[in-house]
Amino acid sequence: MHAGIRALILAGLAWLFAPLPLHAGEFEHNWLEVGYASLESDDARRASGASGRINLELPEDHWLVLEHDQLSRSVDGDTLSSGHDYSRFAVGAGHYATDEGMWIMELGMARSSDELLGTDYGLSAGAGIRTRISPRFELGGGLYWSGVARHDPDEDESFLRVHGILDVTDRVALSGLYEHLDDGFQWRVGLRAGF
């Protein structure tokens, strides 16, 4: 392996595992995230567009979370004017299982709206884990259920969620999220700012 490539790899690993002063084993609960989301069903229905999430810290490892996806439906590669929105508001709680790992639970409401299929509301619940793989990288996931499905507001859905957060600085991070749904999948990429 070329010496320059080796030095670049070692520098990247040193940066990834370098400590961040505000993240000494703690998870950030106050942040705003903006990004891009893509949703695809098993029957090739697609929607993509803007995604936003905000998380507000409450006392003793509790938080409020609001996430909203405002997507445009696409059929056979053509973008239609019809919109497809999904929102979720929840209260979450966490318990540190280790210094770097936390069990999480969330309970709230979800809203799914499609200009062609209508709008409905339902309960939302989930449980999972968050863990710090390194001082700059968080990995987590969990099982969730929603009383309204993203593709069809008249149905419910369960899904597996996996996320990764890469801290660029102590207040800015890159985020990625993948959700395996009952009838498809959704992914999001975003930029997160702590406050």
Please tell me the predicted confidence (pLDDT) of residue 32.
96
CB burial string 94-108: b at 16+ within 10 A, e below: beeeeebbbebebeb
Do residues 66 and 88 make contact, with C-beta atoms less than 8 angstroms apart? yes
Looking only at the bridges linking them, the beta strands covering 78-96 and 62-75 are: antiparallel
Query: Tokens 């098993």 — which residue?
Result: 42
Residues 22-25: contacts with CB under 8 Å, at least 24 apart = 22/170, 22/171, 23/132, 23/135, 23/136, 23/167, 23/170, 25/99, 25/100, 25/132
Residue 48: what are its φ and ψ, rounded to 5°? -150, 160
Q: How many CA atoms lie within 13 A of 96 on its CB side?
A: 9
Q: Structural domain of residue 154, as residue ranges? A: 3-194
**Region 62-90 average pLDDT:** 81
Whether 191 shows a pLDDT value over 90: the answer reads yes
**Best CA proximity match to 108, nearest among 51, 146, 162:** 146
Residue 21: how many other CB atoms lie within 10 Å:
7
Backbone angles phi, psi at 67, to 5 degrees: -125, 145
| 102 band by pLDDT with thresholds 50, 70 and 90 | very high
Domain of 8, CATH number, reads 2.40.160
Predicted confidence at residue 165, as pLDDT, reads: 96
pLDDT: which is higher, 119 or 73:
119
Q: How confident is the model at residue 23 (pLDDT cuts 50, 70, 90)?
A: very low
Buried b (16+ CB within 10 A) or exposed e, 26-60: ebbbebebebebbbbbeeebbbbbebbbebeeeee
**How many structural domains comprise the chain?**
1
3-class state of residue 14 by DSSP: helix
Residue 96 has pLDDT above 80, yes or no: yes
Residue 89 — very low, low, confident or very high, per pLDDT cuts 50/70/90?
A: very high
What pLDDT shows up at residue 81?
A: 54
